[in-house]
Amino acid sequence: MRNYIIKRILLLIPILFIVALIAFFITNLMPGDPVRVILGNMAAEAEIVRVKASLGLDQPLIVRFFKWLANIVRGNFGDSLYLNAPVSQVLAERIRPTFLIAVFAEVFGITAGLLLGILAAVKHRKFLDQFSITISLFGISIPSFWP
């Protein structure tokens, strides 16, 4: 069992590398110039060159990937261009409310599931049993991304 767990953990390393590689290249090979989006179409060429250099976009893609990967491993997620703040700081500010919502949703889901299960068992083949099955099916059928 221990060997299996070690093997799975070691297998996780190349999988994470491949996922990071795909995510990086998909976002960096999208059409359009991110510097032109930031500065606008009327920006001077000198300003575009300066911003590209400051963002590291003047380097080859493979060099940018390994720098990005090294920063991610160290926990440096860079700066948010939208919020003008370090991404790690933005994540730290939002992790607590996100965690509280997730815990509340989990407790609510477990409680509702247990209550519906008990009601369905007690009132087998009656209205409450059918109602709990219907509610459960609706709950499972709604996609998690639905607002």
How much is the pTM?
0.66
What does the DSSP 8-state code read for residue 55? H
Q: Where are the domains of the chain?
A: 2-76, 80-147
Q: Which amino acid is at 44?
A: A
Contacts of 12 (CB under 8 A, 6+ apart): none
pLDDT category at 147 given cuts 50, 70, 90 is low
pLDDT for residue 145: 77
Under a CB-based contact definition with an 8 Å cutoff, are residues 39 and 51 in contact? yes
- Residue 120: CB atoms within 10 A of its CB come to 19
> What is d(CA 147, CA 125) in angstroms, rounded to the nearest whole number?
33
Q: Which of 8-12, 40-44, 99-103 has the lowest mean pLDDT?
A: 40-44
pLDDT for residue 131: 87
pLDDT for residue 84: 86
pLDDT digits (tens, 9 = 90+) for 98-123: 999 999 999 998 998 898 889 889 98
Residue range 2-10: average pLDDT? 94
List phi, psi (to 5°) of 31: -65, 150
Sign (positive or negative) of CA dihedral 65, 71, 53, 86? positive
pLDDT digits (tens, 9 = 90+) for 54-100: 888 999 999 999 999 999 999 999 988 888 899 999 999 999 999 99
> What is d(CA 61, CA 53) in angstroms, rounded to the nearest whole number?
13
Inter-axis angle of helices 127-141 and 87-122, nearest 10: 160
Residue range 33-50: average pLDDT? 88
The chain-wide mean pLDDT, for the chain, equals 91
